[in-house]
């Protein structure tokens, strides 16, 4: 029996890998193991709890003030011990986190095959987003299987000379099929009832400092201008993000700062929002499935399919550009309707099944 191991460590990875874990554990042809690094701790654990997944290995690497150097070295040493003990036939990693890069590199050094879920995303700017663009390019070099979420991602990989490339859709859409429910209620949603609810997320490393304060200033200006808007902002645990949020939004009657939400709650907040402002990558994929227009608070995006489809608009981080984009979407009904009805380019919610089918076919044929 072939042994498959999934390694992940952050909340976004967990959201997108847990549906795949459940799909693989339902297959009889292989043994499925889960190793988490704990790069995020509380946020990771809440996702595991919601999906009912208990890891087989937990490296628990998270430490206060951890740097990219700390994460990389701790993950590599921890994963090496797990690989030595278990010798999986293939390890699946996801996306572009430091856990993903370090785990894939450990597999490469140990001669273990790698399957990259959400492969092929590109900005081709090695420092934007940082360090994610480097991480995903490096992992794609190492990978034996590249599970591309879209045709654009597949073309990127083929152009780079990759083999073993498959278009599967995005597993994040699989998660939405199980988390969004019709009868969901929450006190913060009750607070926003009767208003147009704007969901905000902002946390990216390249936006910390002045860019984030410019973004927040623009958002506050628009909210001050339109009294039927309310904003809910689940503030990232990074102290620098919390400091900026408190400084720019503290005391505003129609901007509510809340603790990070578990995935089930967050997806249901998105589903009930009017529009979304975000610098997150995953939300750019989830929103089209929910019919929600998204303004992307970044200068680059590795998800151009959403921009091409018309559901995303890249507005950058300059105050004037964010203000203009936000205000236009609030006032231009035709623009709003076009974005909310744009087609979803990120799949149909069955990516995990496709990946499992590909691995079963590999298992039943010759080894890599």
Q: Are 89 and 2 in contact (CB under 8 A)?
A: yes
Which pair of structure tokens corresponds to residue 52? Answer: 């009912």
Checking phi first, is residue 239 left (phi over 0); if not, alpha (psi -120 to 50) or beta? alpha
Q: Find the catalytic residue in 186, 205, 252, 327.
A: 205
Q: What three-state secondary structure class fits 316?
A: coil
Angle at 23 between CA 264 and CA 354, to 5 degrees: 110
Which residues, other chains included, contact 273 with Cβ-Cβ below 8 Å and sequence gap of 6+? 197, 198, 199, 292
d(CA 186, CA 194): 14
236 is catalytic: yes
163 given a catalytic annotation:
no
Of the candidates 172, 40, 44, the one whose C-alpha atom is nearest the C-alpha of residue 98 is 40
Which among 13, 58, 96, 286 is annotated as catalytic? 96
User: Annotated catalytic residue: which of 23, 58, 118, 174?
Assistant: 118
Q: What is the DSSP string of 197-232?
A: EEEEE---GGGTTHHHHHHHHHHHHHHHH-TTEEEE
Number of H helices, E strands in the chain: 16, 13
Q: Out of 13, 58, 89, 132, which one is annotated catalytic?
A: 132
Does residue 118 have an active-site annotation?
Answer: yes
Residue 317, CA atoms < 13 Å, CB-side half-sphere: 18
**Cβ contact 99:85 at 8 Å:** no
13 flagged as catalytic: no
Q: Catalytic annotation on 96? A: yes
| Residue 141: DSSP 8-state | H
Q: Which of 236, 252, 327, 328 is catalytic?
A: 236
Active site residues: 96, 118, 132, 203, 205, 236
């Amino acid at each position: 029996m072939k042994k498959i191991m999934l390694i992940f460590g952050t909340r976004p990875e967990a959201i997108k890998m847990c549906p795949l874990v459940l799909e693989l554990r339902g297959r009889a042809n292989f043994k499925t193991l889960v190793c988490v690094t704990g790069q995020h701790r509380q946020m990771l654990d809440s996702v595991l709890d919601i999906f009912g997944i208990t890891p087989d290995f937990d490296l628990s690497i998270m430490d206060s003030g951890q740097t990219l150097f700390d994460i990389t070295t701790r993950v590599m040493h921890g994963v090496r011990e797990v690989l030595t003990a278990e010798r999986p036939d293939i390890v699946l990693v996801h996306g572009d986190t430091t856990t993903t890069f370090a785990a894939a590199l450990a597999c490469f050094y140990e001669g273990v095959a790698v399957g990259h879920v959400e492969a092929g995303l590109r900005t081709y700017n090695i420092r934007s987003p940082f360090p994610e663009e480097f991480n995903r390019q490096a992992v794609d070099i190492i990978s034996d299987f590249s599970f591309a979420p879209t045709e654009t991602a597949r073309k990127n990989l083929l152009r780079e000379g990759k083999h073993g490339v498959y278009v599967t859709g995005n597993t994040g859409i699989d998660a939405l099929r199980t988390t969004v429910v019709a009868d969901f209620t929450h006190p913060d949603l009750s607070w926003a009832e009767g208003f147009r609810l704007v969901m905000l997320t902002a946390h990216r490393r390249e936006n910390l400092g002045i860019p984030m304060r410019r973004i927040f200033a623009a958002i506050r200006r628009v909210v001050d201008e339109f009294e039927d808007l309310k904003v809910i902002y689940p503030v990232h645990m990074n102290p620098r993000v919390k400091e900026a949020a408190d400084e720019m939004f503290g005391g505003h009657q129609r901007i509510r700062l809340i603790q990070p939400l578990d995935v089930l709650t967050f997806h249901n907040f998105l589903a009930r929002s009017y529009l979304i402002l975000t610098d997150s990558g995953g939300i750019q994929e989830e929103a089209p499935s929910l019919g929600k227009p998204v303004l992307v608070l970044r200068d680059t995006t590795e998800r151009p399919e959403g921009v091409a489809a018309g559901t995303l608009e890249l507005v950058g981080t300059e105050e004037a550009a964010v203000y203009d984009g936000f205000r236009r979407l609030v006032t231009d009904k035709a623009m709003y309707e076009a974005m909310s009805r744009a087609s979803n380019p990120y799949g149909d919610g069955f990516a995990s099944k496709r990946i499992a089918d590909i691995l079963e076919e590999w298992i039943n044929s010759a080894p890599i």
